[in-house]
Amino acid sequence: MEHEKTFEQFNKGKLCLASDTRSFSNIPWSKHPVFDGVELKHIVTSADTGNRFSYHLVKIAPNKKIGLHIHKTQLETHEVIEGKGVCLNDSREIPYEPGVLTILEAGSEHEVTAGESGLYLFAKFIPPLC
């Protein structure tokens, strides 16, 4: 399937810093501590950015969701890589498909629901999630 090829390219990608290069393949997937069917790969952490931001590869299983929640102090962005779904951003329903970029302001209530083929995105947090 085409989305598997594109997602796998990101999953096996690399982070290029001035000081070194890190393979995403060497970063483990972590199950989300609250939401079933959601996994995160912590690509860039607060330690990498002087506590300025973090960047995460997110995998949401088919028909699963990151339930309604708020980040009180963090701005969050989503860049949809593959799959389809819906984001509820402060009561506004936003269709998620490849190429969509969403900004979730600090304090905004939001959730993301994956469609039948799952949903794959990059999420950035400012200040960092971890």
Q: Which domains does the chain have, with CATH numbers?
A: 2-126 (2.60.120.10)
User: What are the start-end ranges of the H helices in the chain?
Assistant: 2-11, 46-49
For residue 4, the model assigns a pLDDT of 54
For residue 120, the model assigns a pLDDT of 95
DSSP state of 28: P
4, 51, 78, 83, 106 from 59: Cα distances, Å: 12, 24, 12, 10, 22
pLDDT tens digits for range 4-62: 578 888 888 998 888 889 999 999 999 999 999 999 999 999 998 999 999 999 999 99
Q: pLDDT-based confidence at 1, cuts 50/70/90?
A: very low
pLDDT tens digits for range 11-25: 889 988 888 899 999
Q: CA-CA distance, 123 to 77, in Å (whole number)? A: 5
Look over the chain and give the mean of its residue pLDDT values, rounded to a whole number.
93
pLDDT tens digits for range 74-104: 999 999 999 999 999 999 999 999 999 999 9
Angle at 113 between CA 36 and CA 122, to 5 degrees: 85
For residue 36, the model assigns a pLDDT of 97
Residue 111 has pLDDT above 50, yes or no: yes
Q: What are phi and psi of 123, to 5 degrees?
A: -125, 135
